[in-house]
Amino acid sequence: MEMLTHALSANALLTAFAIVGLVMWLSNAISKHLLFGRVHGSAIAIVIGLAAAFAAGLWTGGTKGVVDIPVFAGIGLLGGAMLRDFAIVATAFEVDVVQARKAGAIGALALALGTILPFIVGSLAAVAFGYTDAVSITTIGAGAVTYIVGPVTGAALGASSAVMALSIATGVFKAVLVMIGTPVVAKLIGLDNPRSAMVFGGLMGTVSGVSGGLAATDRRLVPYGALTATFHTGLGCLVAPSILYLVVRAIVGG
Amino acid sequence: MTISGVALLAICTLLGTFLGDLLGSLLGVKANVGGVGIAMLLLIAARLWMARRGLMTPGLKFGVEFWGALYIPIVVAMAAQQNVLVAARSGPLVLIAGVAAVLLCFATVAVISRLGKKGETMDEIEAQAQARAQGDAPSPGKHAV
């Protein structure tokens, strides 16, 4: 047993690859066989990750989720800021500029609204729950944009880990809602053509929420929604820690 | 070469982070301002520039796309190291902010997609593509998209 723990700890990043891989595989199996594709596998995996962090927090009393357990230290490296930013930047490679131009002004409008509206909602909720400092309000507001924009903003502004967790939880909850809710409201909001799919991607933002929700609605709409959604995260990461933060700071002061 | 793709991605990310820090200090915000977003724009620009010059090799593409494909697992690892305990104790905030943001965005999608002319539905586009494909001489392995 001790030898096994040593092998796992000495190869921390490899352990992390193996564990996350198993979690992804399990999540996809649950998505396919138990939920019949209603909830995207990646959403389930993220919920499992959050649940594991919750359980680890109870068990260790630490603040860094499963990373506080030595065997899982590699998860800290895999999900740390360095590789996270590296992977997000890599997704920009899939953006097709010609296709993106087709969405034109209406796609840009959707992107702008999709960043600002959730940010306002998230910020107001943060204020309603007693947060008064600009960094926390901005970080939670950014979390309502997507669960990537939230932690990127929080990390840039130096938010506390608790606020970061709230921010991510908001973004993940939103992504899960989008995945489950999209097939239900698809007809109602006219989601049956590439143009509205691009508007949808720009407004809802979360790539896993959009791709999961569209996959459950009409598989063929996925690339169009994902296209604007990939811009959404970049835009959010650009404006949330800068312009939006400055606006919030100007309003609440400090 | 695969490593050239990984290197390109690394250079864009590092440069974006540096520019983000620079922008932050210029704005007087002690933070990285949009470093990731800038890096994404750099990568898109690099891709277009290289594609035009025929420098885009399959190896290079693979080096970048591999990391893009790892994006979801990395987010899962990120989720697993958060201070969820504290977030869960202030649960209602997450519920209210999440539900309100999603409902507002759904409503906005409905409004915006009704602006201007209605787009062709996926069914119509596929029907047209099929009609075109039938007009052409059938070529094996060519997708009707």
B130 and B62 fall within a common domain: no
**Run of H or E including B126:** helix B122-135
Q: Identify whether B82 is part of a domain.
A: no
Higher model confidence: residue B79 or residue B128? B79
pLDDT in tens, A91-100: 778 766 665 5
For residue B115, what are the domain limits? 87-135
B64 and B113 fall within a common domain: no
B33 and B99 fall within a common domain: no
Facing B76 at nearest CB: one of A24, A54, A157: A24
B13 and B49 fall within a common domain: yes
Q: Identify whether B81 is part of a domain.
A: no
B55 and B100 fall within a common domain: no
With an 8 Å Cβ cutoff, are A113 and B112 in contact? Answer: yes
Q: Identify whether B26 is part of a domain.
A: yes
Domain boundary among B75, B109, B126: B75
- Residues B117, A190: contact at Cβ < 8 Å? no
Q: Identify whether B13 is part of a domain.
A: yes
B67 and B103 fall within a common domain: no
pLDDT in tens, B39-53: 888 998 999 999 899
B95 and B127 fall within a common domain: yes
With an 8 Å Cβ cutoff, are B75 and A79 in contact? Answer: yes
pLDDT at A110: 85
B111 and B57 fall within a common domain: no
Domain boundary among B75, B102, B127: B75
Among A103-112, A202-211, A212-221, B46-55, which stretch is predicted with the lowest mean pLDDT?
A: A212-221
Chain B residue with minimum CA distance to A246: B29
- Distance between CA B44 and CA B12 in Å, rounded? 10
| Residues 59-88, chain B, touching A (beta carbon < 8 A) | 61, 64-68, 70-88
Q: Identify whether B91 is part of a domain.
A: yes
Chain A residue with minimum CA distance to B37: A234
- Distance between CA A3 and CA B144 in Å, rounded? 56
B92 and B69 fall within a common domain: no
B1 and B59 fall within a common domain: yes
Q: Identify whether B120 is part of a domain.
A: yes
pLDDT in tens, A168-210: 888 878 877 787 777 778 778 878 777 788 888 888 877 667 7
pLDDT in tens, B61-78: 999 999 988 877 887 888
B123 and B56 fall within a common domain: no
B5 and B71 fall within a common domain: yes
Q: Identify whether B80 is part of a domain.
A: no
**Run of H or E including B25:** helix B2-27
pLDDT in tens, A126-157: 898 888 898 999 999 999 988 878 888 888 88
Min Cα distance A84 → chain B (Å) is 6
SS3 B132: helix
Q: Which residues from B are below 8 Å from A181, CB to CB?
A: 102, 106
- Total domain count for chain B? 2
Q: Identify whether B142 is part of a domain.
A: no
